[in-house]
Chain A
Amino acid sequence: MTKTLSDFEQVILADFEFAAQSDKRPDVVCLAWRDLAVGVTHTAWRDQLGAVPPYRTDAKTLFVCFVANAELGCHLALGWPLPVNVLDLSPEFRLLTNGRNVPEGRGLLGALAYYRLPSIDSKLKEAMQARIIKGWPFTAEEREKILRYGGSDVDALAQMLPLMLPQIDLELALHRGEFVAASAAMEHHGVPIDLEIFTQLADQRAWCAVRDAMVPIVDAEYGVYVQDKDGEWHFNMDRFQQYLDRQEIGWPRTDAGKLNMRRKTFENMSKGHPQLEGLRQLRYTRDKMRAVELAVGSDGRNRTVLWPFKSKTGRTQPKAARWIFSPAVWLRSLIKPEPGLAVAYVDWSSMEFMIAATLSDDPVMLEFYRSGDPYLSFAKRVGAAPTDANKDTHRQLRDRYKTGLLSIQYGVGSETLAGRLGVSTFEAHEMLKQHRELFRVYWAWAEDWLAHALNSGMMQTALGWQCATGITEFKSRSLMNWPVQSTGADIMRVACIWATRRGLGLRAPVHDALLLEAPIERIEAEVKLLRELMRRASRVVLNAEASGTLELRTDATIIRYPERYGDERGEAIWENVLALLKIHQDQQTATTTAGSGSNR
């Protein structure tokens, strides 16, 4: 039976105001809440809050808020239990307007404007938020204003809730709310970081020195950077063109005929031409990392808002610069479990391929997945790899074909594919043709899906994440990619909820993987359980029938203290960074020693 508000004895609307603590956890300033039935908004300053919430959090209570990861993060910071039933109106609003233009944005003010409800002025809101984030101490006048401001947000929730409710499938909304709660717990714990090295990297002078010194070392292989008269390094397009000519790499161009230097293009080309990976990371590090902005707390944990449901596909989308799993993969080597602990990176194998196979029910794709590695199987089928090739003997080729196969799946053209795979346009064209012949059931489904999406004006996953088409979503590649990514997000949600229910120490969702932390003596058992939960999560989402047997396999890598996490794509740069840091430190020590010597 569909759930309604009357299923709950109490409905609580709540909003916290908070600054950031040194460990990046929320530093609660005040709380405003309202029991919907009573209709009176209460406020309490931090020192008035006790060891338990001033409202119930049991199974008979519904906790309503906007951006629940913040409110639940405050619960955790205060040592309060998390509510059993969470209705987060932020992802619900995102869901209702997904794929549409929302002129005022998707924040609380945007949602109020959407429902034509009165709200405080956006400038005032910004000013209040800025003051609260600045933190303690607060004057009596500021306290009063902040309490009033918090209360106004709760009043806004009370006005918005009855307007949104008829559009909300409460059962699914509670499922999403539970995932946000699991995300809040992940944010609360954070990812363990090697604080010793991070502290050195976070030092702006040291980082600038490393960043500059890294250029000639990494660029020696490419010769595309030039130094100006001030000693600043710049990426030179002419030299890059010469490098591409030397390597005989055809690079995608813009409509104006210039080299396309978008981050995504570089990423894709590096997969087709692995020799470019070092340059890609150097470029990202120089362009995007003026400073190492990773949000690392004083306790050595990387914590940043994970932003569940931020993406159109319902995937989690944390701010890259502040998150350890950013495109600068070498940074991931900073992940290091504390003494006595271990972390495990558990990922679903060939997730996107298998989701496409199950959605389309393509027997050949399913067979490719069952036989082991679908990407290598395809490479073998098109004659690019010998029949005895495996992941160890042909890793680079396998990675290239993974990129290629997924690109084809989403409707890539032959020229782009040629670039990504480092093959001729003719070969790419043939590969596209073979893909269509081999996986013809998938292609028939893809056409059906496109027609359905455009006919109905809506796409929706099995677990109810949806996106309108025709307004901002109309490109066929995007429409074909959506069900696979969103289904992946469905699976991820179920797995995170189950793992959190079982008390597993999840630390981060990483696209198609989960980072787990546990004591060394328990890590293997917990990885085993997590893999079982991940397998079952895929089964729930991939099979329309309970008797269905389709499921995803998982792989796990365990890192025990004192080991550190490593991504082979970033290992070379990481080694360089460590060496350069050491040189910088030695220079600093020498300078200090010389300085103190001359003083004597």
Chain B
Amino acid sequence: MVDETNPRPKLEVVPSAEQEPNKKEPDKEELDEEELEFRKLRRDLPGVAGASAAGIVAIGTAKDPGKNEFFRTHPDYRPIVGMVNVEVGMEKQYFAVTADMEAALVNIGITTYNHALYLTITSRGAVRVVPVRCAGSDGVQNEYNRTKEIGLIQGMSEWVRLYTDLENGVYKVFSAPAGRFAEPVWPALKPAKIFRLAFREKGRLIDSVNHALFQRWAARDKDAK
């Protein structure tokens, strides 16, 4: 509710000196109070001065939240989605698959795997969806995926960083000291919108046999060799 005891001052045409000869100068307390009032309007994103997550309209998808970057994981966002991935150079691209396309892909020899999607935000403000392949029907999950998921879940309550332990073939988690970063400001987006931004709008949703990737795998694209 509007604070009745402290309504905002009314804007009026500035009166001339003759009309208001004894205008009172504001005191320091009054100005300090106003400064605090305006400070509440700030929409900061921790780590990126002057930036905010409030208006984010593009979300990337990546195998991790960012190389050596501290991140937080959204505590509520964790849909399970059938996916395929494609290696493009050094990058791994993830494609979500609609339920009705899974059978069509199987028919051309492509298997989809269920992935849990985690929404992350780095200390520098990059918002990414990180897919983690779920355990198979035998209950076995790749160690990298299992330990990555541990780190992502830990990121729900504190700022963490993932790094690889090549010797043991696992991810390890490094926690940031408490208070190093402020609490994350999550983009005000509904789960469906997050999915749309991360996949559909980037052409990363295989939802028909006309999808370029399906066409390529089925050798139906004209440039196929």
Given contacts A172-B41, A462-B42, A463-B41, contact A522 B52 (CB under 8 A): no
CB atoms of A172 and B10 under 8 A apart: no
CB atoms of A181 and B11 under 8 A apart: yes
Interface string of A143-180 (1 = CB under 8 A from B): 00000000000000000000000000101100100100
Identify B25's interface contact among A181, A188, A494, A529, CB under 8 A: A529
CB atoms of A59 and B43 under 8 A apart: no
Interface of chain B residues 6 through 60 with chain A (CB within 8 A): 7-17, 20, 23, 25-26, 31, 34-36, 38-45, 48-60
B184 within 8 A of A: no
B2 within 8 A of A: yes
| Stretch from A119-127, A345-353, A497-505, A570-578 forming part of the interface with B | A497-505
CB atoms of B11 and A8 under 8 A apart: no
A319 CA to B49 CA in the complex, in Å? 32
A533 CA to B56 CA in the complex, in Å? 32
CB atoms of A546 and B36 under 8 A apart: yes
Q: Which B residues contact A (CB, under 8 angstroms)?
A: 1-2, 4, 7-17, 20, 23, 25-26, 31, 34-36, 38-45, 48-60, 124-127
A466 CA to B125 CA in the complex, in Å? 15
User: Mind listing 23 A-B residue pairs with CB under 8 Å?
Assistant: A57-B10, A82-B12, A85-B8, A175-B38, A175-B41, A358-B49, A445-B49, A449-B51, A451-B124, A452-B48, A455-B58, A455-B126, A456-B59, A456-B127, A460-B45, A460-B52, A460-B55, A461-B51, A463-B41, A464-B43, A466-B52, A487-B50, A503-B20
CB atoms of B58 and A540 under 8 A apart: no
Interface of chain A residues 472 through 504 with chain B (CB within 8 A): 483, 487, 494, 498, 500-504
Chain B residues whose CB sits within 8 angstroms of the CB of A57 once the complex forms: 10
Q: How many A-B residue pairs have CB under 8 A?
A: 151
CB atoms of B49 and A359 under 8 A apart: yes
CB atoms of B2 and A8 under 8 A apart: yes
Which 8 interchain pairs have the tightest Cβ spacing? A457-B58, A59-B7, A519-B17, A460-B52, A466-B55, A82-B11, A455-B126, A458-B55
**Which B residue's beta carbon lies closest to that of A505?**
B14
CB distance from A181 to the nearest CB of B (A): 5
Interface of B is mostly: loop
Known: A456-B59, A502-B26. 4 other contacts (CB 8 A): A59-B7, A452-B48, A463-B43, A522-B17
Identify B48's interface contact among A449, A501, A504, A521, CB under 8 A: A449
A76 within 8 A of B: yes
A278 CA to B13 CA in the complex, in Å? 40
A361 within 8 A of B: yes
Chain A residues whose CB sits within 8 angstroms of the CB of B54 once the complex forms: 169, 460, 464, 466
CB distance from B27 to the nearest CB of A (A): 11
Chain A residues whose CB sits within 8 angstroms of the CB of B41 once the complex forms: 171-172, 175, 463-464
Identify A185's interface contact among B13, B35, B48, B124, CB under 8 A: B13
Chain A residues whose CB sits within 8 angstroms of the CB of B57 once the complex forms: 456-458, 468
A81 within 8 A of B: yes
**Which B residue's beta carbon lies closest to that of A171?**
B41
Chain B residues whose CB sits within 8 angstroms of the CB of A182 once the complex forms: 11
Interface of chain A residues 295 through 314 with chain B (CB within 8 A): none
CB atoms of B8 and A59 under 8 A apart: yes
Given contacts A456-B125, A457-B57, A462-B43, contact A483 B50 (CB under 8 A): yes
Interface of chain A residues 417 through 450 with chain B (CB within 8 A): 445, 448-449
Identify A84's interface contact among B1, B11, B31, B53, CB under 8 A: B11
CB distance from A494 to the nearest CB of B (A): 6
Chain A residues whose CB sits within 8 angstroms of the CB of B10 once the complex forms: 57, 81-82, 84
Q: Which A residues contact B (CB, under 8 angstroms)?
A: 3, 7-8, 57-60, 76, 81-82, 84-85, 169, 171-172, 175, 178, 181-182, 185, 188-189, 358-361, 445, 448-449, 451-452, 455-464, 466, 468, 470, 483, 487, 494, 498, 500-506, 518-519, 521-522, 525, 529, 532-533, 536, 539-540, 544, 546
CB atoms of A470 and B36 under 8 A apart: no
Chain B residues whose CB sits within 8 angstroms of the CB of A540 once the complex forms: 35, 38-39, 42
A360 CA to B14 CA in the complex, in Å? 39
CB atoms of B39 and A546 under 8 A apart: yes
CB distance from B34 to the nearest CB of A (A): 6
Chain B residues whose CB sits within 8 angstroms of the CB of A169 once the complex forms: 43, 54
A215 CA to B1 CA in the complex, in Å? 64
Chain B residues whose CB sits within 8 angstroms of the CB of A60 once the complex forms: 2
CB distance from B14 to the nearest CB of A (A): 5
CB atoms of B50 and A461 under 8 A apart: yes
CB distance from B7 to the nearest CB of A (A): 3
**Which B residue's beta carbon lies closest to that of A445?**
B49
Given contacts A178-B8, A464-B43, A494-B38, contact A456 B50 (CB under 8 A): no
Chain B residues whose CB sits within 8 angstroms of the CB of A494 once the complex forms: 38
A536 CA to B37 CA in the complex, in Å? 12
CB atoms of A503 and B23 under 8 A apart: yes
CB atoms of A525 and B25 under 8 A apart: yes
**Which B residue's beta carbon lies closest to that of A58?**
B7
Identify A536's interface contact among B7, B12, B13, B31, CB under 8 A: B31
A58 CA to B7 CA in the complex, in Å? 9
CB distance from B16 to the nearest CB of A (A): 7
**Which B residue's beta carbon lies closest to that of A60?**
B2
